[in-house]
Amino acid sequence: MIIYYKKETNLTKYIHSKEKVTIFKEPGFLHTIGFKTIIYPDIYFHTGTINSFSKTLIENSKITIVNSTILKNKLIEDLTVKEDNIEVIYPAVDVEPFKKKEIKKPFYEKYNIPNDYKIIYFTGKNLKKSGLESFCKIINNLEMDNFKAVISTNIEKELKYLKDVLKQNNLEDKVLIVDYEIFDVADIFVLPTTFKNFSINVVKAMANKCITFVPESNYSVELVDIFSIMRNPNDPNTSYKIDMVLRVKDELKKIQKENYKIGKKLTLQYQHRRLDRIIEKLKTK
């Protein structure tokens, strides 16, 4: 079996562990044998942007694996590729069953956060493209005050940018900065990103019982409930929606539970089962 991927993931490690595979190389970008017969991958694990090389692989590999149905439909519409030749496997995280109240208690005590406050969380590797400035506007537009906004980063240059933006928005004393992820204590995760590629942080948030706001332009939006979809990173309705769930606890818990039902299913075991079925399908072609 010939496979190709840009970077190693849990899925590519898994296929190596159970199948005899050859890695597709790109010498130019084509394998040739005999009388210039072109050999393409059996499975192409697509990640990142669509360029001329990835288009060629998507159109000629036996199976292309992508991480969202939105992207699959876009490829079918834009490229010469059959629907049966593209499979979707969502990103996954493994989250142990937990009691959120017990995890939240030491965090609240450490940072002197009132017990009845909710945590509104934001993070990303690239804070600018992840929507830091939009997040600050959302926080400043909230009417309710029973919350603590928390932002995390452990990247030095991102920290400098973060502090500059907080100062510009008069939020230096209103936002808690930590250097580790806090999905397990957060209640609401807001990601007003300009990135289109599927955000793994959306899966992390949902698997940790967070209401998760994300723009409709990001491929991960297909996982969240309609209530949490942002028309764009600066959607003014986001602040109103957050105010509502801060005001109505039952609605907050309801959406958190709905997200958790979806997020807890997106495990490594789920990915392995999906890949096993794809491999079996490939062997019968």
Same domain, 144 and 244: yes
Region 103-114: what's the mean pLDDT?
95
Q: Which amino acid, residue 245?
A: V
Per-residue tokens: 54: 């990835």
Residue 216 lies in a domain: yes
The residues near 190 (Cβ < 8 Å, ≥ 6 apart) are 120, 121, 122, 131, 135, 138, 213, 238, 242
- Name the pTM for this structure: 0.92
Same domain, 69 and 199: no
Q: Which helix (H) or strand (E) holds 16?
A: helix 10-18
Same domain, 106 and 70: no
CA dihedral 68, 73, 74, 79 (to 10 degrees): 120
Same domain, 248 and 120: yes
Residue 271 lies in a domain: yes
Res 25: pLDDT:
72
Same domain, 213 and 180: yes
Same domain, 10 and 149: no
Q: Residue written as tokens 């509104």?
A: 120
Same domain, 217 and 231: yes
Q: Describe the strand order of the beta sheet including 229-230 as a list of residue ranges.
A: 175-178, 147-152, 118-123, 188-190, 211-215, 229-230
Same domain, 253 and 119: yes
Residue 7 lies in a domain: yes
Residue 122 lies in a domain: yes
Residue 39 lies in a domain: yes
Same domain, 62 and 145: no
Same domain, 186 and 123: yes
Please list the residues that pair with 150 across neighbouring strands: 121, 176
pLDDT digits (tens, 9 = 90+) for 124-170: 999 999 999 999 999 999 999 999 999 999 999 999 999 999 999 99
Report whether pLDDT(34) > 70.
no
Overall domain count for the chain: 2
Closest residue by Cα to residue 188 from 255, 104, 107 = 255
Closest residue by Cα to residue 136 from 120, 159, 156 = 120
Residue 194 lies in a domain: yes
Quickly list DSSP for 139-188.
HHT----SEEEEEE---HHHHHHHHHHHHHTT-TTTEEEESS--TTT-SE
CATH of the domain at 114: 3.40.50.2000
Q: Whole domain around residue 179: which residue ranges? A: 100-263
Residue 95 lies in a domain: no
Q: Is 210 helix (H, G, I), strand (E, B) or coil?
A: coil
Region 233-245: what's the mean pLDDT?
97
Residue 16 lies in a domain: yes
Q: How many CB atoms within 10 Å of residue 73?
A: 13
Per-residue tokens: 61: 């590999």
Res 191: pLDDT:
98
Q: Cα(68)–Cα(88) distance, rounded to whole angstroms?
A: 6
Same domain, 135 and 44: no
Region 206-235: what's the mean pLDDT?
96
Res 259: pLDDT:
94
Res 100: pLDDT:
74
Same domain, 82 and 205: no
